[in-house]
Amino acid sequence: MEQCNWFQLNAWFQRCAVLAVVLFGVMCAHPAQALPLFARQTGMACLACHTNYPELTHFGRMFKLQGYQLDDGKDLEVTTDDGKQLLSLPAIPNLALFIMSGYVSLGKALPDSNIPGAKSFKDGIQFPQQVSLLYGGKIAPHFGAFAQLTYDSLAGTFGIDNTDFRFADTVILPNKTKLTYGVSINNNPTIEDPWNTTPAFGFPYVPPEINVPYAGLQINAGLAYQVAGPVFYALWNEQLYAAFGFYKAAEVGSPGNPITGAAAPYDSASGSVPAGLNPYWRLAYEYDFDRYAFEVGTYGARFKIYPGAGNALSGLTNNYTDVAGDFQFQFIGEKNTATWKGTYVKENQSLDASYALGGSNATDWLSYLSTDFTYWYNRKYGATVGYLSTKGSTDPLMYPSAPTLCAANSCTGIAAGTPGAFPVGVTNSANSNPTTNAWVTELNYMAWLNVKFVLQYTHYTKFNGGTTNYDGVGRNARDNDTTYLLMWFAL
């Protein structure tokens, strides 16, 4: 038998003391606290799916692609006597409410639309900017939905927003790998995609609604909510994702037919109507290692659009071919979360219809680059730096150099030379070029997982092709800068 000396006993004593402290700590530990917020269907915290809304984690991506199915088992179920299941519905409807209110200040006030030389307010409050009613989650086994109805305070109307109905299933292949497949019927190209590099849920997530608009690509929300279609997809081993689908014009908010007085298929009374079936495709690869998730991919679409607005919906179309590349690098640590992502889209425009109508060049192009880096500490304090760049071909017909003309009591439909008309500029381009570059910085504070405050500053280094006097009436790119304070609640 071995002997112990004092030093060894002392070491034993120390270890026992440590163990005693540990045991005391265990016994005195507070009882487990409730989760700060349960997502209603899964019983999970928001952080399971999001780094910060709407950016998804790996789990959030899988949850989405698998049809929003996962739940905590609290379903209403109806089963026949022979065991056949007829209904499996979440016991509590998965409803949520988004309320966003914002304050926006422009770099410089806009010209007054009625009084020559006068100015508009420099800033504006939107209270609310947007109120959305959402349903998200399981409808039945293999069927799920994310559907959003939104009240837009500027339009003063409720309208359909991002909506995505899904069927999804997962099987094991003979080589023991996992294959998820499904179909998403949706109303916004790229909404079916689970990464936040594609336009539907891409950066900037909530831009200010009070702003000065500039040229945008068709796939970059150009046709959002005006089309609908199925996108078929497959995800192999949580890594390789492929999707292919078609979009057709969807009649949302279109007026009744003048002949029947009721809803009817589109005719020339409507403008910019997509023709036939417009294909969309997506290919992406994600690799997860340690706390990192890296994604690289490509996506694109081809849209044929009738100009309409008094022209028959037949014959020539404007044809847009969008091809994009994207990447996302995500790190999710215990306290630190960081994401760097980006996308570049090139849109080739064959504008047969507009050219024939004398409204544009025969061909044009636009490109869009977006990249941003976001850091969150403790999922509470966040900061983002992003860069947005839109470039394109020069087209005097598409991007007129002559300033927009306004007259008393009206800023629309006033032809050049009308008595009393005066130039306001702002949206035109002195050199007929759409190039617009901007830096976007954000400070975020997530007081609670469902209460977020965002301070965003957008600085334009170039707007509609110029840095100074871009509109020919003295407005500079930086005059369109926006300072935006957003308050966002999710209930």
Name the residues that contact another protein, by CB under 8 A. 2-5, 8, 11-12, 15, 18-19, 22-23, 25-26, 29, 32, 34-35, 38-39, 42-45, 47-48, 58-59, 62-63, 66, 69-74, 141, 170, 172, 176, 178, 237-239, 287-291, 293, 332, 334
- Please say which residue, 119 or 291, places its beta carbon nearer to another protein: 291
- Please say which residue, 80 or 260, places its beta carbon nearer to another protein: 80
- Please say which residue, 13 or 381, places its beta carbon nearer to another protein: 13
Q: Least separation, in Å, of the C-beta of 339 and another protein?
A: 16
* E strand map for 361-426: 363-377, 381-392, 405-406, 422-423
Q: Distance between CA atoms of 219 and 190, rounded to whole angstroms? A: 8
Take residue 236 and report the two structure tokens written for it. Answer: 């192999």
Backbone angles phi, psi at 292, to 5 degrees: -105, 150
Q: Least separation, in Å, of the C-beta of 194 and another protein?
A: 13
- Please say which residue, 63 or 280, places its beta carbon nearer to another protein: 63
Residue 61's H or E segment, with its range, is: helix 58-65
User: What 3-state class would DSSP assign to 261?
Assistant: coil
Q: Least separation, in Å, of the C-beta of 195 and another protein?
A: 15
Can you tell me which residue has the tokens 């799916």? 49
Which of 444, 438, 345, 457 lies closest to 50, judged by CA? 444
Take residue 14 and report the two structure tokens written for it. Answer: 């120390």
Q: Least separation, in Å, of the C-beta of 375 and another protein?
A: 19
- Please say which residue, 17 or 309, places its beta carbon nearer to another protein: 17
Q: Distance between CA atoms of 58 and 41, rounded to whole angstroms? A: 18
Which of 303, 155, 148 lies closest to 216, judged by CA? 303
Q: Least separation, in Å, of the C-beta of 382 and another protein?
A: 18
- Please say which residue, 13 or 127, places its beta carbon nearer to another protein: 13
Take residue 260 and report the two structure tokens written for it. Answer: 């029947």
Q: Least separation, in Å, of the C-beta of 348 and another protein?
A: 36
Q: Least separation, in Å, of the C-beta of 20 and another protein?
A: 9
Q: Least separation, in Å, of the C-beta of 178 and another protein?
A: 6
- Please say which residue, 19 or 312, places its beta carbon nearer to another protein: 19
- Please say which residue, 34 or 86, places its beta carbon nearer to another protein: 34
Inter-residue contact 204 to 245 (CB < 8 Å): no
Residue 60's H or E segment, with its range, is: helix 58-65
Q: Among the residues of 295-342, which ranges form H helices?
A: none
- Please say which residue, 149 or 296, places its beta carbon nearer to another protein: 296
Q: Distance between CA atoms of 207 and 458, rounded to whole angstroms? A: 9
Residue 64's H or E segment, with its range, is: helix 58-65
Q: Which amino acid is at 342?
A: G
Q: How many CB atoms lie within 10 A of CB 81?
A: 5
Q: Distance between CA atoms of 114 and 406, rounded to whole angstroms? A: 7
Q: Least separation, in Å, of the C-beta of 237 and another protein?
A: 6
- Please say which residue, 157 or 237, places its beta carbon nearer to another protein: 237
Which of 284, 281, 96, 134 lies closest to 194, judged by CA? 284
Q: Least separation, in Å, of the C-beta of 32 and another protein?
A: 4
